[in-house]
Amino acid sequence: MALLNILHYPDPRLHKKAVPVKVVDDRIRRLVADMAETMYAAPGIGLAANQVDVQERVVVIDASEDKSGLRAYINPEIIERDGEQICEEGCLSVPGVYEKVARSAWVRVRALDEKGQPFEFEAEGLMAVCIQHEIDHLDGKVFVEHLSLLKQNRIKVKLQKRSRITA
């Protein structure tokens, strides 16, 4: 396994739409393992492949308290949604920034597992937020783009200043 480089907003590669995985093979399983290692090291609870500059529809999430709930979602798609919740979100690609975002309160998702087998699941609360956040990444959208243009610009300036200071 290997730690992967996480792209930071406003990197234009974060805005590319990821393509569906055609075959779930050892390469994809290795990508899932590397993404999980990267997510845990960051530390975070979710990571989409295009955040590590792989433009394929692969997501890993572990929202458990003890880091025992790792799941991979390959070609995930929301097939049903309901309600609304507002939660504070953060992102490994937007370090140190946390903002309130409106999301569906409940979702039904279809995806493939690491063996290429299709499955569906329902999520609410934090898990619903996570899967919507990560699918947004796969569609080329970063969570700050749910915010006003004023807030987006403030975040860009803040991150650009921070990168100049650490460079």
| Residue that is written with structure tokens 């947004």 in the block | 136
Residue 37 annotated in active site: no
Rounded mean pLDDT, 119-124: 98
**70-81: pLDDT as tens digits:** 999 999 999 999
State whether residue 81 is helix, strand or coil: strand
Q: How many Å separate Cα 156 from the centre of its chain?
A: 19
What's the chain's average pLDDT? 95
**CB of 51 within 8 A of CB of 24?**
no
pTM for the model: 0.94
CA–CA dist 90, 94 (Å, integer): 7
* Active-site residue (options: 56, 89, 99, 134): 134
Q: Is 137 annotated as a binding residue?
A: yes
